[in-house]
Structure formats: structure tokens, C-alpha cells
Structure 1
Amino acid sequence: MKASYVKPFIVALIIIIVDQVIKTWVRMNMYPGEEIKFLGERGMLHYTENNGMAFGMELGGDWGKLALTLFRIVAVCGIGYGMVYLIKRKYHRGLIMNVALIFAGAMGNIIDSTFYGLLYQTGYDGKPLGLFHGRVVDMFYFPLITGNFPDWVPFWGGQDFVFFRPVFNFADAAISVGVILILIFQKHYFKQEIPEEPTPNSEMLEE
């Protein structure tokens, strides 16, 4: 296999392994809701599990959970195919690596939602949640700014606010970094060289 194929998939594999190692450590050494602070009140491990998408967003119900997991599997297959396509067409290496980040992050969360319910997680009745019904393990929490909205702010006046509120995992971070870098450098990644058209003056000089 060519090195151009190997490097993005090695990066993706490393991210998946790191993600699963962190999740396994958290699951084995913390209880749900427990916090381990490493930046005081501004940064901590906060063990939580969610049924849904990145950063704790959810699609409700058993059928919603199943649909979301199956959609993730289809999506990650599409992302993997897209990465191979970009490599074959010799797209910008930065773009390929960013797609590898997104692919790895999606795979990391798919492992949770596909297998954790079969291997580790149980429902309220104590029975395993089953294949495709696992919960995604999240742990990173950075409430950097906390306060209250002024009373004059529509809808949220007087309510508490926290930035950054979502609890996320290493896989979520990989997806976010990949997407953000693609958005920032999209003109550089997708630029095309347009051949210069001859001007009337240049044609006259050639004659």
C-alpha cells in the first residue's frame, strides 16, 4: 500500500485508540457524574454518557437511537470512501488529514454507540442495552465563563449561562478540529489554477 494511503489512516487509527483508551479509563475509574478538576472550576473531567450526537445532543427514543447509530455507520463509510477518493485524486494533504480527523472521530463514537450497550452498559432494568443502542462516553468539560444574562435580554433575561457548556470527548474534538480547519482553509484546499487566456495584444505580438 502506498505511503499516501497509509499516513491518513495511521493518524485516524491513533486518534481512535487514544479516544477509546480515555473512555475506558474514565469508565473504569469514575462513576457517572463524578468530576476530577485539573483547571479548577474552569476545566475538569466530568463523566457522563449520552444517547445522541456530538456534545450531548440527542435524538429521542429507542428507534431514534437505532436510526442515529445506523446513520453514523453509513456516514463513516461515506467519509472513509471520500478520504480514499481525495487521496487517489491527490487533493491537498491538509484536506486529507482533516478528513482523517473527522473519520476517526466518527469511528470513535460509533464504537461506543454500536458495542458499549452490548458489552458494558445496562438500562434501568439491569439488562444490557444491546447492539447499536450504546451510550457515548463524554468527559471533557470547560465552563470557562459563567454568569447571568441581564434582565433586558429577550428570552434569556435573568437566566444563568455557561460557556462552554457541552461535555465532549476526544472523538468530538477531532471532528470539530477537522471541520473548523476545512472551513478556515477551504480556499487554499480547493483552489484551482485557471489557465491564462491570450489577450488580443499578445496574439498580435506573436504574429
Structure 2
Amino acid sequence: MSFKKATIIVFLILLVDQISKVYIKTNFLLGESIQAFGLDWFEIRFVENEGAAWGTRLPGEYGKLILSLFRLAISPIIGYWLYKSAKENAPKLLIVAIALIFAGAVGNIIDSLLYGVLFDESTPSQVATFLPENGGYASPLYGNVVDMLYFPIWEGILPSWIPVWGGKSFTFFNAIFNIADMAISTGVGILLVFNKKVFPKTKPAEQEVEA
């Protein structure tokens, strides 16, 4: 796969990711949810998180800043890996996986870097405004990541015989995420599941000569 095609993949993912986030941010109250396509197990639920993928967060006063700086540092490395792999005609599946991971990383970086400046605060009673007169709700690198995809596939009480969690309410799957998170997870999943295809073992030069 050429670098141009990989760039198109990255651009399309970023476009869908940012359009969905801006729409949710400027049309939903914080915590508001609607059923998607009339399905009980698929909701659009607006939440914001200060941390990593799938709603996790780093504790402490500087947790958010550390995470944002880490994303800024690691993204160019992933981008170079994508460029190098495409130029060296690496397996197509590897290039797709890297493109997904890179797009997801950049998508969430945009939130952290710019959303605190571009929007005012979302609350349960107020929808955020784009470019508010009084300025944004946070400094650059301190913006919250917008999440909205929620799949509560099963909700119920766990059997009492299950250790620790028995008799307690349980939801599968209870993480709320976004398109960028999904792209990163899909890319990592491809690398893990198709490891032998994306990282094929090459024969030593001596064996190739003998053959």
C-alpha cells in the first residue's frame, strides 16, 4: 500500500472522528443519551474524560498534562513508522494497522490540545458553544476528550456463586469511547491477531543464496 493511500485512511478517520465529536459537543448536554437506531444495546451518550482511551484517566494534578505530552511525543514516531513502512513496501495489513493507530492518536490529541480553547464547558444544563466570547474552559493540552459510543450489550445481576462480584449489578460492555479509540484498538488488534502476517519472518541472506 502506498503512503498516499495510507494518508487517505488517516484523513477519513480523522474527519469522521472530529465531525462526530464536534456535533456531540455542540448539540448534547453532558450526560445526555439517546438510543441509536432503536437498539437497546447501542446508545449515543455524551461524556468527557481527561485521560486515555476507553474513559481511563491518569491520577494526580499533572496526570492530564503528562498524558497529553506523551501523545504529542509518540504520534510523530508512529507517523514516521507509517511513512517508513509504506516506502519499504511493508505488508498491506501492517500499513493499515499503523494508519488506524496514528489516526486515533492524532484524533484524541486534537481534543486535548484544542477543545479546551475552542469550546466553553459542557454541563448537564448547558450545551457547549464553539468559539465562546469569554474564551474556552481550559488551556491548551488540558482539553477533555469527547466520548459518545456506548454498547451496554448486557445488563443484569451476576450469580451469587461468582467470587467477589456475585450478586452485584454488571454491565457488559460499560466503556464509553469514540471513533479515535476504536481506530487505535482495531489497529492494535490487527497487530496482535495477524502478527505473523504483518511481521513476516525473512530468510537469512545465506539461505536465500543457497536456494
Fold similarity call, TM over 0.5 = yes
How far apart are residue 121 of structure 1 and its match?
3.9
The one-letter code matched in structure 2 to 1:167 is I
| 1:189 corresponds to | 198
Where structure 1 has 5 or more consecutive residues not aligned to the other structure, the ranges are 200-207
Unaligned runs of 5+ in 2: 124-134
Q: CA deviation at 1:187?
A: 0.5
Q: Which residue among 151, 157, 163 is the counterpart of 2:160?
A: 151
1:123 CA drift (Å)? 9.1
Who is 1:34 aligned against?
A: 32
The CA deviation string for residues 44-93 of structure 1, in whole angstroms up to 9 with x for no partner, is 10000000000100012341100000001111111111111212322101
Number of the residue aligned with 2:132: none
Q: TM-score, normalised by structure 1?
A: 0.88
Query: Cα 1:19–1:127, aligned 2, differ >3 Å: closer, same or farther?
Result: closer
The residue aligned with 2:13 is 15
Q: Which residue of 2 aligns with 1:163?
A: 172
Aligned to 1:203: none
Contact 1:123-1:129 at 8 Å conserved across structures: no
Q: Which residue of 2 aligns with 1:78?
A: 77
- 1:29 Cα deviation after fit: 1.3
- Deviating runs (4+, > 6 A) in structure 1? 196-199
Given candidates 4, 10, 23, the residue that maps to 1:6 is 4
Aligned residues: 196
Amino acid at match of 1:148: I
The residue aligned with 1:205 is none
Q: Partners of 1:115 and 1:197 in 2: how far apart?
A: 55
Aligned sequence identity (%) = 41
- 1:94 corresponds to: 93
Distance verdict in 2 for CA 1:37–1:6, change over 3 Å: same
Over the residues paired in the alignment, what is the CA RMSD in angstroms?
Answer: 2.2
Distance 2:87 2:176 in 1: 37
The aligned residue for residue 111 of structure 2 is: 112
- SS of residue paired to 1:158: coil
Partner residue of 1:68? 67
